[in-house]
Amino acid sequence: MRARAGLSALAPLFLVSLATVGYEIALTRTFAVAKWSEYGYWVISIVLAGFALSGVVMALARDRFARHGAAWLAWLPVGLIAAAALGYHLVAINPFNPLQLQNPATFADQLWNIAGYYAGLLPFFFLSGLYISLCFVLNDQDVGRVYGFDLTGAGMGALATLGLMALVHPFRLVPCLLLPLAAAALFARVRRRAVLGAALAALLGGEALLLFGAHAQFNDFKAIYAPLHVPDSQVVSQITSPRGLYMLLDDFTERVDTDISNNAGMLGLSGPPETFGLYRDGNRLAALPKAAAEAPYAGATLAALPYELRPHGRVLLAGASGGFRIAEARALGAADILALEPEPVLRGALRQGLGPSPAVAGAAISQVSPIAASRAGGGWDIIDIAPDFLDAAEANASAFAAEAIATYLQALAPGGIISIPVSIREFPAYAVRVLATVRQGLLRAGITDVPAHVLVYRSAWNVRVLVSNAPFDAGRIAVAKRFCDDRSFDISYYPGIDVVAARASIYNDLPAVSFEAGEVTSGDGPHDAIADEALAVLRGDPTASGAAFNLAPITYDRPSFYAVLRLSQLGTILNRLEILPQAEIGPLVNLAVLAQAVVIALLVLAVPLLGGRRFRDAGTERVGAARAALYFATLGLGFLAIEIFLIERASFYLNDRTTAFALVLTGMLIFSGLGSMLAGRFAGRERLGVAIAGGVVLAWCAALLLGLQDFMLATLDLPFAARAAVVLALLAPASVALGLPFPLGLSRMGHGGFLPWAWGLNGAFSVVATPLANLIAITSGYDRVLLLALLLYAVAVVSCPSSRQKDLQWSPSAVP
């Protein structure tokens, strides 16, 4: 039996894993800034595809790699430096345009550009996978420690890269990550001088290419592109952060981003003032004031009606829109204002100002979510959600859930109003889905006469849904009608509305559109597609939109606000691809990645057939390939399913997706790495170790399914740091257990081709896991994702190989 792997063998593995995960995160940031973040899914698929294919190659040519193992480990970091630099350069110059991918006339060229991403990035991840799998092969008597260094290196890579984002522009992350790859070359055991010279040359060449070569740029479909290129446009402030690249622009196109009546002049009200424009990753985030924020235009805005219905009230603002929502509420007569701004840069701009933009006065400002604020105290006359609150941060989607609406209703003073914004610029179906969610929220609050408690009004592009804990009586309806008539807004629903009669006085035509046919289906004359369905939705009756779109209520378990497309109608969706909004692209990208992942998984599954005698005779006590395939496939699927579930739940709990991602990813990797190092304690008792670890994971999953939501809500008022500590405490025991089954299974695979095959198999089904879990979450909820993980680990426990491969006699020429 060979000696345990020493630090000199595992330290470079730690560095390679660190750089690999850091490179992956840097690529996703590049996609988010220069392209669309939805296409970052493809980066993840390339990563794991490279790992899976490296396992295939290592399994089929294992002896050749093992005979020259020390040389491969010495030279691979050199190749990784070159592949990382060249691959990122190719990403930067790739002209991929997502909008053209949605156009039937131009999509073919974009498919070639996507192929270019694969050609540029796959070599790095393939070589990285070779390095890691070779470490397993050369140290197969100590796979627990090898896997531990791999996972802890990956965890520290994620943590280090997220830290770098606070200091370095997203397009400058990769040059920093070449350094740990160069450091890995310092541990070369053969031809050390030549390897170090080649590593230094590759490092200098790579840094020169990345620092002085072509850089990624904002694509022309980004919101920032046009204002950035108008005459005299200036970037007056910039912040680099793990949450994004923030840029404050001064240009003549920037105005307050709110829906104002065309009748403002007739009402004697001024238009919106000039502002600075704040952008995150090239997407418009908010307008910031150039001077003290004032809102003389407030009475002409769509959001003003609740302030006429509840004058001089206490107002809870969810989102401050750069401070202008505070100014508008003050101008509309609010007596007391609490402004909630969970987005940290926006919150800092309100309190201290940002660049030349001054701080905003006139309201208390808090970072808590509207859900937490509503649970903490009541008596609010108006709970007003800003129109840009949904898109200010991913975690804000939960504020629109049915459970959240029920919480708001309980926090209102008698007769108080919730004001919910919906954009209908893309699909009117979003407003109908919000009505379905409102219905569920009212029922949860114990209000059964749902239609009496809702009023809906709109402009041409936006809707406001008003929800009250008291019925809308004739007096309040009369005020709403006068308000809308004065401003040329339309009332789409109020209790007792005559939809047919109301059509005679519609200001903003909103005809019904058939998504399937791609054409307007209504006849001549003005129409209001929301009015046609509002009452039926509030009663819970089926509607025409419900047949074409997914109008299931938004919930804490299914918080995806924009997921209204039915993937069962994929043919229709593809035929209408050119009109899909960006927010609806994510599920389609997941489907594409899933299709690719299945192909890769089938390829890896076929390796024992391709390997022939090597796999049939790998030891005298044969481990069944089918059983091994089931075991490692379920581990790959289950681990990623748990990770995705935890990121989503932590995002809700912390009200901050970036911190949630950082805590869950680094915590799971590091704790799992520590757990894998315990695998040696189960030498000769691997099945017992798998059973214990599996039992812990199963019990933990069951406990979370039964009580996590109630626990989070009960502790939502804890300080942020305390909640972050709770997240780590919750994931730690399961993560330690999750680190055991993989190395314990590998230790039973012997010296043959089964070991690298199992590594590749785990990677291949990890490719499948990410898009599959995302699709399940969108369609069925995150609890179903965790339930799937529970079932997968139960299968893994019973499919663990029952007997260990007998050691073969082999002597590689150089083993570190």
The rounded percent of the chain whose pLDDT value lies above 90 is 56
Residue 393: what pLDDT?
Answer: 85
Q: Which value, to the nearest 10 degrees, does the dihedral of the CA atoms of residues 115, 634, 142, 679 take?
A: 140
Residue 814: what pLDDT?
Answer: 34
pLDDT digits (tens, 9 = 90+) for 466-487: 999 999 999 999 999 999 999 9
Report which of 741, 657, 637 is spatially closest to residue 697, judged by C-alpha positions: 741
pLDDT digits (tens, 9 = 90+) for 759-768: 888 888 888 8
Residue 351: what pLDDT?
Answer: 94
Mean pLDDT score across all residues of the chain: 87
Q: Please state, in angstroms and rounded to a whole number, the distance separating the CA atoms of residues 546 and 55.
A: 46
Q: What is the DSSP letter of 488?
A: T
3-state secondary structure 515-542: CCCCEECCCCCCCEHHHHHHHHHHHCCC
**758 or 240, which is more confident?**
240
Q: How confident is the model at residue 555 (pLDDT cuts 50, 70, 90)?
A: very high
Q: Compute CA 21 distance to the chain's CA centroid, rounded to the nearest angstrom.
A: 17
Phi, psi of 545 (to 5 degrees): -65, -35
pLDDT digits (tens, 9 = 90+) for 157-189: 999 999 999 999 999 999 999 999 999 999 988
**111 or 645, which is more confident?**
645
Read off the pLDDT of each residue in 110-116 and give the average, rounded to a whole number. 86
Residue 807: what pLDDT?
Answer: 39
The rounded percent of the chain whose pLDDT value lies above 70 is 93
Task: Assign residue 214 a region (left: φ > 0; alpha: ψ between -120 and 50; beta: otherwise).
Answer: beta
Residue 521: what pLDDT?
Answer: 54
Read off the pLDDT of each residue in 335-349 and give the average, rounded to a whole number. 94
Q: Does the structure show a pLDDT above 90 at 735?
A: yes
Q: Does the structure show a pLDDT above 60 at 506?
A: yes
Query: What does the DSSP assignment read for 215-230?
Result: -----TTSTTHHHHTS
Q: Does the structure show a pLDDT above 90 at 572?
A: no
Q: How confident is the model at residue 802 (pLDDT cuts 50, 70, 90)?
A: low
Check if CATH label 1.20.1250 holds for domain 1-222: yes
Q: Does the structure show a pLDDT above 70 at 358?
A: yes
pLDDT digits (tens, 9 = 90+) for 40-96: 667 667 777 888 888 888 888 888 888 888 999 999 999 999 999 999 999 999 888
Q: How confident is the model at residue 627 (pLDDT cuts 50, 70, 90)?
A: confident
Q: Does the structure show a pLDDT above 60 at 806?
A: no
Q: What is the DSSP letter of 353?
A: -
Residue 215: what pLDDT?
Answer: 84
Q: Does the structure show a pLDDT above 80 at 672?
A: yes
What residues does each domain of the chain span? 1-222, 402-553, 644-801
Question: For helices 143-164 and 173-185, what crossing angle results, to 10°?
Answer: 150
Residue 524: what pLDDT?
Answer: 63
Residue 621: what pLDDT?
Answer: 40
Q: Please state, in angstroms and rounded to a whole number, the distance separating the CA atoms of residues 158 and 539.
A: 48
Residue 816: what pLDDT?
Answer: 33
What are 113-119's contacts with CB under 8 Å, separation 24+? 114/42, 116/90, 117/42, 117/46, 117/90, 117/91, 118/46, 119/90
Q: How confident is the model at residue 304 (pLDDT cuts 50, 70, 90)?
A: very high
Residues 6+ apart with CB under 8 A from 312: 333, 334, 335
Residue 611: what pLDDT?
Answer: 60
Residue 534: what pLDDT?
Answer: 94
Q: How confident is the model at residue 683 (pLDDT cuts 50, 70, 90)?
A: confident
Q: Count the neighbouring beta carbons within 10 Å of the beta carbon of residue 529.
A: 23
Q: Count the neighbouring beta carbons within 10 Å of the beta carbon of residue 684.
A: 8
Residue 9: what pLDDT?
Answer: 78
Q: Does the structure show a pLDDT above 50 at 687?
A: yes
Task: Assign residue 686 a region (left: φ > 0; alpha: ψ between -120 and 50; beta: otherwise).
Answer: alpha
Q: Round to the nearest angstrom and report the end-to-end CA distance of the chain.
A: 14
Q: Does the structure show a pLDDT above 90 at 593?
A: no
- Cβ atoms of 120 and 91 within 8 Å: the answer is yes
Read off the pLDDT of each residue in 496-500 and give the average, rounded to a whole number. 90
Residue 4: what pLDDT?
Answer: 61
